[in-house]
Chains A and B, each alone.
Chain A
Amino acid sequence: MSDTMQKEPRKDITQCVFARIQEEGITPKPKWHFLMREGVVWSLGGVSVAVGALAVAVTLFEVRNTRWEMYDVAHTSFIDFCMDAVPFIWLGTFALFAVVAYAFVRSTKGGYRYRFETLMAVSLVASGVCGVVLYSTGAGAFLDEEMDAYMPLHHSLVERERMVWESPGEGRIAGIVREVSFAEPLVWIEGLGGTPHALDVSDFSLEDRRVMRVGDMVRVIGIPSTTTAHALHGCLMFMVSDDILRKAHGALQNEMHKMHVGMVTEPERNILVARTTECRSIRPYTRFLPLAQ
């Protein structure tokens, strides 16, 4: 039906509006109200970008300090290793907060003018760039360690190193060389948890044992012992120069604080030649052996 055919006369809208303004005491909201709202929304957008940046910093730290070349020491495949090593929780946090930042910027006064792709790209790039800056200041390493206490799904690199390398029963030990015996093929290593482990180094050459000095930090891969005389029959030894493992060793806590964070590890020195057929079953052996020949 057409409006012109309505039966009752139309209200005087102006009169009605002014009557309501009068009765309800309506006044225009002050300018600061809108400025404050806009400021809060922009700030929340900024906070979201900052959280995304922290996630990027931790991700960079974890990815750069993960021992990718040793993936098959404790994992059956590279994919299996990636499932443990790739910081999905931080990548997820980064993605989530990029979307949250987008949502906040979109709800600012002029935010609607920009395409989703544009705002998302700006949000991702902003978080990415800030994340790189934060990583270079050591915030990634700091957060990676500190968040252990607050995020149940997060395992810091230090914690992961402990889980992987404090496992004589699985054929893996890392720690500080405390005693090298030349009379018999035994080396005492103080593990990452502070426990001393006796290591059978009969498969190591005399030269290798000379290289191994008291105070060195090493990773050893071997065969779990069946006797009580020692914890592990060593097959491969890696001299450790990375600070992550040093951090994982509780005895070096004080030393750790002196070290810079956000570091990249130096190349490890590999002693690769296995001397008995027993060690040939050790998984990384076959991969490392050709390099030593």
Chain B
Amino acid sequence: MVDLGTETDAVIVARALVERDSFAVLIARYEAKLLRYIRRLGVRNEEDREDILQDIFIKVYRNLRAFDPRLSFSSWIYRIAHNETMSWFRKRSARPDHALVDDGDTVLGMLAGDDDTVEAHMTQEVQEEVRAALEALPQKYRDILVLRFFEEKSYEEIADILQMPLGTVATLVHRAKAKLKTLVPEHVYI
């Protein structure tokens, strides 16, 4: 097999359509990222996460020809991951069980701050308060904050992942942060 390690995702997609084994490169590239994303969306059990991940890659493989090279492959695969995970929740009539506990205080500090770049060092107690507030947020706000601050996606990428207009993404991020502020005590803000 040709070494595809340094090739772009789009090139590997084209290659995988000709030679199935090339698809392994995409799996290797996104496995860890997507597992983490699925966990952040609220799938706590590891086996469930792995099952969902398998379904995601199977779906990606089935729909390889639907990939539009004008989009980034990353956004496309995150979109499939998001939809598959939400579908998994619906099938099980389960609610997302958020597990942001392993994320560092920087992310939570950014969330508590007034802009997207604030790096705050918070005490354990404050982190807990922000985390609790995050988990109390409505799903649509939580999804968008996870993508923006935990997955560090740009507004354009979020728009492609969640399939909504760019302006709506900006509005939702703004509203989500505003809502978060109402849920955390005042002393959290730096």
Give me the interface of A with B, judged by CB distance under 8 Å. Answer: 2-3, 6, 10-11, 13-14, 16-18, 20-21, 26-31, 33-34, 109, 112-115
Contact = CB atoms under 8 A, between A and B. Distances in A.
B168 A115 contact: yes
A27 B61 CA distance: 7
A33 B166 CA distance: 28
Contacts of B61: 17, 21, 26, 28
Contact of A28 (B50, B54, B65, B168): B65
Interface stretch (B106-114, B157-165, B174-182): B157-165
B164 A29 contact: no
Interface string B54-70: 10011001111110100
B57 A34 contact: no
Contacts of A6: 46
22 contacts: A3-B35, A3-B46, A3-B102, A13-B27, A14-B27, A16-B54, A17-B61, A18-B23, A20-B58, A21-B58, A27-B62, A28-B65, A29-B65, A31-B65, A33-B65, A34-B63, A109-B68, A112-B163, A112-B164, A112-B165, A115-B165, A115-B168
Contact of B46 (A10, A28, A113): A10
A112 B159 CA distance: 8
Contacts of A17: 23, 27, 54, 57-58, 61
Interface of B: 17, 20, 23-24, 27-28, 31, 35, 39, 46, 50, 53-54, 57-58, 61-66, 68, 102, 159, 163-168
Contacts of B65: 28-31, 33-34
Contact of A20 (B24, B39, B54, B167): B54
Contacts of B53: 13
Contacts of B20: 18, 21
B19 to A, nearest CB: 12
A204 B6 CA distance: 98
Contact of B50 (A11, A18, A21, A26): A11
Contacts of A20: 54, 58
A13 B61 CA distance: 14
Given A17-B27, A28-B62, A2 B102 contact: yes
Given A6-B46, A26-B58, 7 more contacts: A17-B54, A21-B20, A26-B62, A28-B61, A109-B68, A112-B163, A115-B168
Nearest to B159: A113
A13 B31 contact: yes
B86 to A, nearest CB: 16
Nearest to B70: A110
A64 B47 CA distance: 67
Nearest to A33: B65
B165 A113 contact: yes
B50 A13 contact: yes
Contacts of A14: 24, 27-28, 31
Contacts of B57: 13, 17
A222 B27 CA distance: 86
Contacts of B54: 13, 16-17, 20
A158 to B, nearest CB: 46
A67 B182 CA distance: 58
Considering the complex of A and B, which 8 residue pairs feature the smallest CB-CB distances, nearest first?
A112-B163, A28-B64, A17-B57, A34-B66, A115-B165, A31-B65, A14-B27, A14-B24
Contact of B167 (A28, A29, A115): A115
A114 B165 CA distance: 5
A17 B163 CA distance: 26
A20 B35 CA distance: 19
Contacts of B27: 13-14, 17
A112 B166 CA distance: 9
B50 A29 contact: no
Contacts of B164: 112
B36 to A, nearest CB: 8
Contacts of B28: 14
A17 B22 CA distance: 13
B102 A10 contact: no
A202 B35 CA distance: 94
Given A13-B50, A13-B54, A113 B62 contact: no
A32 B5 CA distance: 30
A18 B54 CA distance: 10
